[in-house]
Amino acid sequence: MSRYAQVAFTGNVRRVQEERGSVRAMDRLRDGPVEPDRLGPREAEFIGARDGFYLGTVGEDGWPYIQHRGGPAGFVHVVDEGTLAFAEVRGNRQYITAGNLRGDDRVSLFFMDYAHQARLKVLGRAETREADDYTGLPQRVAEEIGRLGTDGLRERLVLVRVEGLAWNCAKHITPRYSQAELADALQEVAERLAELEAENEELREKLRERS
């Protein structure tokens, strides 16, 4: 996380930390070489299980912009320990994110796991390409993007060179569950209900035989 803190803890941020008494603890997070944070197995597994994330960019007038990106679980691919890749699919055709990236390639990605109250923040620099331009990327990335097709027309390929990353604490994350997560959680309950229904039917049949 040291690079994330070096980027995020600007002069104004550190002044607020000093005012609030957290600057010493935060400075420990900044200690370390000035080099990008790396995606490890934990981050790769977490990102690979997500079916959406929030993407922040900045426009040429300085206003921030946040957009949601979604797809099948695993649609964001960990190319290597310093690179992410995902396909951009045609949406409302406002192209605000795409336009912002022409002027400033810095991005912030926010990956959420509401069910387990976990979140991962990533800072990086984005490169946009034509949708089928996999130059310099492993063959498996092209195959995975093709296999995990998203609904709609793929317009661009986005690569994110990771600069920093940080895990957040679980505070204030309200647990939420997708249909798939609920189905998995309720499967055992459904199976038990089916067993009870079968037992009840057997008992009813015995009662009918006695009457």
For the chain, what are the domain ranges?
1-35, 36-176, 177-211
Say if domain 36-176 classifies as CATH 2.30.110.10: yes
Three-state DSSP at 135 gives coil
Cβ–Cβ < 8 Å for 37, 3: yes
pLDDT at 141 over 90: no
Under the banding of pLDDT at 50, 70 and 90, the label for residue 1 is: low
Could you tell me the CA-to-CA distances from 3 to 28, 30, 96 in Å, in that order? Answer: 12, 7, 28
Helix ranges (H only) for 51-151 are 96-103, 139-147
- Mean pLDDT of the region 130-140: 90
Could you tell me the CA-to-CA distances from 29 to 21, 38, 39, 111, 162 in Å, in that order? Answer: 15, 15, 17, 21, 18
Cβ–Cβ < 8 Å for 52, 70: yes
181-208 pLDDT, tens digit each = 888 778 888 888 889 999 998 888 888 8
30-82 pLDDT, tens digit each = 888 789 999 999 999 999 999 999 999 999 999 999 999 999 999 999 999 99
Under the banding of pLDDT at 50, 70 and 90, the label for residue 149 is: low
For residue 116, give the DSSP letter.
T
pLDDT at 147 over 80: no
- Mean pLDDT of the region 155-162: 95
pLDDT at residue number 150: 64
Cβ–Cβ < 8 Å for 58, 102: no
